[in-house]
Structure 1
Amino acid sequence: MHGIHTIDTGFGRPNFDAAYLVVERGRGAFIDSGTAQALPRFLDAIAAADLEPKDIDWVILTHVHLDHAGGAGELMRHLPHAMLAVHPRGARHMIDPSVLIAGASAVYGEDVVRRDYGEIVPVAKDRVIEATDGFVVDLAGRALLCLDTPGHAKHHIAIHDERANAFFTGDIFGLSYRELDTAAGAFIIPTTSPVQFDPDEAHASIERMMRYEPEAMYLTHYDRVTDVKRLANDLHEQIDAMVAIARRHAGAADREDRIAEAFAELYVARARKHGVALGTEAILKLLKIDIRLNAQGIVVWMDRVAR
């Protein structure tokens, strides 16, 4: 649809982590790069679109978290004419990814980072463009507008595709897994993962995107969703509910665990109301990683605002 091709990067599990190839008049732009291990899938997507690597003009990163951008350097090695567009706060991490690697290694361990993300290599400085707020990527006459959209991360942009009247949202418009779709449509939850979540900024970024009256959102986790007004309202409600939960448990010695348990209850209750027929254990299995990351991220936010 509209020359937009979804790429399952293979990270985590099937239908979990998406990137996109936008094609216009024989030219292409990737939105996000997945991990370095996803490279064969990107090359396959180029071929499936009847293009060659030399036909790709852009790689645009929504933000530099490794599931979105860890493979950018390796991908750029195979795209001789492409430029990389990224938020100004993220540009230096693409040119020198050592801080990203060190941060991930400190959390997960070097072996896990190498296993899950592959080799994280730099992008040449002269191929990196800082996508400031309002920067427009011209893809063969097709305007891809980059908007500064903090809330999930300070270095986050969302990309408005004028032709499709849709946004590529990275993580600022939440998570929606197709296994949780019902007759009522997509089910969505926010993502508040560490370390730069801010609820006020998240609300504002969602509202900013909604002013464009988009017909669809293309999420990294996962794929295209419509009924955008309802989903935006769902996100606003849950962000407020999650903040209230976090504040209720702020003084507990085991606050992260208590918050995670309450988030699980919140999401399952909303899934049931939405008509999700999966059992509770199946729902929690799908959301397990996100529940823990959301709890961790909101604890970091609480500690930051308390200082």
Structure 2
Amino acid sequence: MELGNGTSHDLALPPTTCTYRENFKQLLLPPVYSVVLAAGLPLNTCVIAQICMSRRALTRTAVYTLNLALADLMYACSLPLLIYNYARGDHWPFGDFACRLVRFLFYANLHGSILFLTCISFQRYLGICHPLALWHKRGGRRAAWLVCGAVWLAVTAQCLPTAVFATTGIQRNRTVCYDLSPPALATSYMPYGMTLTVIGFLLPFAALLACYYCMAHHLCHQDGPAGSMAQERRGKAARMAVVVAAIFVISFLPFHITKTAYLAVRSTPGVSCPMLETFAAAYKGTRPFASVNSVLDPILFYFTHKFRRRPQELLQKLTAKWQRQDR
């Protein structure tokens, strides 16, 4: 690791002059992002197509799933720029605006996915624990669309500062696109980064855990019928809980743990460059796992959407529609 030429490193200040040697990013990030792009793009497109073709039977859960897939699809479309950037050894030739946009899309997808998964889980909780209550059935799909609009507004407000902090800079004689902020703004970014973690991850995660605890308690102590319909309903709820838990454990939890640790170390005065590089590598090493939610989210569709179709049926229907249009 090197210190920037022509600058002094004052131990009373955060080590903003450290220059990392991060060759692992060139080996790790392009393959992972390529897999996410190759799998996430068709999977989310398929989810959107299936939901739109069944719009007459659109449920509130399907509305949330549709918006979740749209968020994943937007992020997948930004991945070619990142793949090129890291394949070239962390060289960003696309300009400052594209840098800010790509970073914003990543965090908007991340926190949008968290909130939409929380909405899906809460909807499932209502269906399991309060199936006969009328108070949560008012508004129907319109209420779900209003909730989605509120989620998009909240996500935009939460993540817009990301586009302000993220910018391009010069390191190792090449242009880079900073993920969080330039090193000189580490102390300024710290309060925002911690607030985003609490509001955008911890609170939704706590709400999701509360929903699943209530669902598990209700299903385990339910004295209702033990027929095939009841068993199928319980099995569907259990499968969805497992998939959502897997998404949080694989994608969101490691990323936020390492990000929080890195933010704390990066803003601490007197931290040595080797220690800072270690925490930076841990954080950036878990960042690809946060992107994997764009692939895992479509899997959730098949556990929450009540009118599942086989891919062959969807292709047959789309082919028949295109043939009618050609005539």
Larger radius of gyration: 2
TM-score normalised over the length of structure 2: 0.27
Higher strand share: 1
Higher relative contact order (CA 8 A, sep 6+): 2
Identify, as 1 or 2, the structure richer in helix: 2
TM-score (norm 1): 0.29
